[in-house]
Amino acid sequence: MSFLTMLGPSPDWNVGMSAEDLCTKECGWVQKVVQDLIPWDAGTDSGVTYESPNKPMVPQDKIRSLTSLDHPQSPFYDPEGGAITPVARVMVERIARKGEQCNIVPDNVDDIVADIGQEEKEEDDTPETCIYSNWSPWSACSSATCEKGKRMRQRMLKAQLDLSVPCPHTQDFEPCMGPGCSDEEASTCMLSEWVSWSPCTLSCGTGTRSRERYVKQFPENGSVCTLSTEETEDCVVNDECSPSSCLVTEWGEWDVCSATCGPGVKRRERTVKTPPADGSICGAEVLEVEKCMMPECREYSSIRTTIAPSRKDTTA
């Protein structure tokens, strides 16, 4: 499996997976694949930040993984060359399995069964010149769990009285449900597990927190999934807030380095959302400053120029 998606806004950065093998050694499908995604550079633009102006790369470079040492202004820059923090995580999970694996059911089963959901059998149009044995018993359902599958029966061609008339239908298929599965269960939607609870919205007193889950498979009958995908509950960090307590926003983005070359500083800010109830000054830090290092400054040699006075400026 391969896929690619672009990060926006960005110069030409993207994330994805390349030729991920989803097969097992036993000729089945893996249950789950989880992979952290590190951004790639497509080699078509030379920008170094998310909002760099368009600057085509001439000639274009090969696609490669970004590193923490690419450029000091890069959001992934780390002077120590550490690993880049993943920007996303992809999870591929098997939620159903249709049919037997590894050709236990013939390869052409999909051609034979044009619509597995069709429950009404077509009228038998077997030519009178074809003589068959009786149908064999139905095979077990191809689905081993509470999922929709198919089952098969066969018959043998005993005689063909007219060689110019083909004798079809030596195999027959029909839809079936896995063992212990009712039609009502098959019409329900399949949901993921709940993710972890979010942090409490308040640092003191009673706030709220939430968690989510997602629909892995919608009902096969086309109905809407009515189960909740989000939960919210109250949370208490400290029973009571101190009168001098204040609430602040999350930190903003770091601004650019104050220097264009050599050492400098950069800063980020946050604001007070709720001032202290007693009217005092909020003691939380709202400004954060740290050092930054830009490429070394180039040294330029100075040339002393002497300008001689003109004749007009000289006195006799």
How far is residue 75's CA from residue 166's CA, in Å, rounded to a whole number? 69
Q: Of the candidates 129, 73, 80, which has an alpha carbon nearest to the alpha carbon of residue 294?
A: 73
Q: Given this model, what pLDDT does residue 61 score?
A: 87
64 DSSP β-pair partners: 41
Distance, in Å, from the CA atom of 45 to the CA atom of 109, rounded to the nearest integer, reads 48
Q: What per-residue confidence (pLDDT) applies to 297? A: 83
Distances, alpha carbon 82 to alpha carbons 66, 67, 101, 179, 271, in Å: 12, 8, 43, 52, 31
What's the pLDDT tens digit per position in 41-74?
888 888 888 888 888 888 888 888 888 888 888 8
Angle at 38 between CA 33 and CA 42, to 5 degrees: 120
Reported confidence tier of residue 311, pLDDT bands at 50, 70, 90: low
Closest CA to 287 of 272, 304, 307: 272
Q: Contact, 291 vs 265, CB < 8 A?
A: yes
Question: Cβ(245)–Cβ(276) under 8 Å?
Answer: yes
Q: 106 vs 66, which has greater pLDDT?
A: 66
| Other beta carbons within 10 Å of 281 | 10
What is the per-residue pLDDT for 102?
54
Q: What is the pLDDT of residues 246-292, one digit of tens each?
A: 778 888 999 999 988 889 999 999 998 878 766 778 888 889 999 98
Torsion over CA: 14, 15, 16, 18 (sign): positive
> CA 215, 218, 220 angle in degrees (round to 5)?
160
- C-alpha dist (Å) from residue 127 to 124, 159, 161, 162: 9, 12, 10, 10
From its phi and psi, is residue 158 left (phi > 0), alpha (psi between -120 and 50) or beta? alpha
Q: Are 153 and 172 in contact (CB under 8 A)?
A: yes
Give pTM, 2 decimals: 0.37
The whole-chain average pLDDT of the chain stands at 78
Fold match between domain 124-181 and domain 190-220+227-237: yes
Report the sign of the C-alpha dihedral through residues 93, 96, 102, 103, in that order: negative
Locate 224 and state its tokens. 């809407």
CATH no. of 124-181: 2.20.100.10
Q: Scan for tokens 């030379």, then name that residue.
A: 46
What mean pLDDT is predicted for residues 218-236?
A: 80
CATH number listed for the domain at residues 190-220+227-237: 2.20.100.10
Measured distance between the N- and C-terminal CA atoms of the chain, rounded to whole angstroms = 93
With 70 as the cut, is the pLDDT of residue 199 above it? yes
> Measured in whole angstroms, how far is the alpha carbon of residue 306 from the centre of its chain?
67
Q: What are phi and psi of 311, to 5 degrees?
A: -60, -30
3-state class of 186 per DSSP? Answer: helix
What pLDDT score does 117 carry? 41
Is pLDDT of 204 > 80? Answer: no
Predicted confidence (pLDDT) per residue in 109-167, tens digit: 455 444 444 433 444 567 888 888 888 888 887 766 656 678 889 888 888 888 888 88
Residue that is written with structure tokens 């060359």 in the block: 81
Q: How far apart (Å, rounded) are the C-alpha atoms in residues 83 and 63?
A: 18
* Domain extents in the chain: 1-96, 124-181, 190-220+227-237
Whether the per-residue pLDDT at 315 is higher than 70: the answer is: no
